[in-house]
Structure 1
């Protein structure tokens, strides 16, 4: 059985970040992964990527939301309500990069609060099939 492809076209700016297959958030959260503290600087480049929707998917970056919380009120409110007691989830890719699977709002909140680190659960690349949705 093959992985179900990602359900939306992925813009070029995000092809190195978003998994190219559909995956299940509940499966990810159910995994028993250790929590570690990562330097915020390690993941800060995610804040410059158009992850969020605005008049369509993949339109605005977290930094744009932070710079104009009135225009992007919904995303800004979601950021402020993000619970930093919960770690973000990242995947450790074969090329040694860490990319965020779940938690960009928490990353932005940690950045807005000038935190140096963020709690994270790191999914090894060898385990991505555990979260994949199959056709």
Structure 2
């Protein structure tokens, strides 16, 4: 069976295409994996905060984390999620073949870490070759 395509692919803005995976993946599968954990400088991941990852007014890919931080009253839902983000949990990232790191899960935690002036964050690194371990296959079935 092949990987299911990313369900919102037609809505992804060009700025996000180099960051989002092109297939449907399961965050529960990701969290269940035993992965190596390292500390990375917040500055190494901070460019993610300028990308429109987050939904607004029921539409995906509308607002960047830094826009949320600049206007928390307007983006109250995403701001609340940021304030509730638990920095005791590592971010989940994937290391791409070109060695770039892409955040898979944890952008709210990354924003909170930056806002609180943290120098580093804990990250769990999924190797690019291991992506099949989080892929959703077929018609909604996990791998």
TM-score (norm 2): 0.93
Partner in structure 2 of residue 2 of structure 1: 2
Higher strand proportion (structure 1 or 2):
2
Displacement of 1:11 in angstroms is: 1.4
Displacement of 1:95 in angstroms is: 1.2
Partner in structure 2 of residue 54 of structure 1: 56
Partner in structure 2 of residue 15 of structure 1: 17
- Give SS of 2:92's match: strand
CA RMSD of aligned residues (A): 0.6
Q: Map of 1:1-135 to 2, 5 A cutoff? A: 1-8=1-8, 9=10, 10-55=12-57, 56-135=59-138
Q: Tell me, in whole angstroms, the C-alpha distance in 1 between the residues paired with 2:98 and 2:2.
A: 23
Extract unaligned runs of 5+ from structure 2.
Answer: 139-143
Displacement of 1:35 in angstroms is: 1.4
Q: Tell me, in whole angstroms, the C-alpha distance in 2 between the residues paired with 1:42 and 1:122.
A: 14
Q: Tell me, in whole angstroms, the C-alpha distance in 1 between the residues paired with 2:75 and 2:32.
A: 31
Q: Tell me, in whole angstroms, the C-alpha distance in 1 between the residues paired with 2:62 and 2:31.
A: 26
Q: Tell me, in whole angstroms, the C-alpha distance in 2 between the residues paired with 1:34 and 1:70.
A: 37
Instruction: Point out 4+ residue stretches in structure 1 off by more than 2 angstroms.
Output: none
Displacement of 1:5 in angstroms is: 0.3
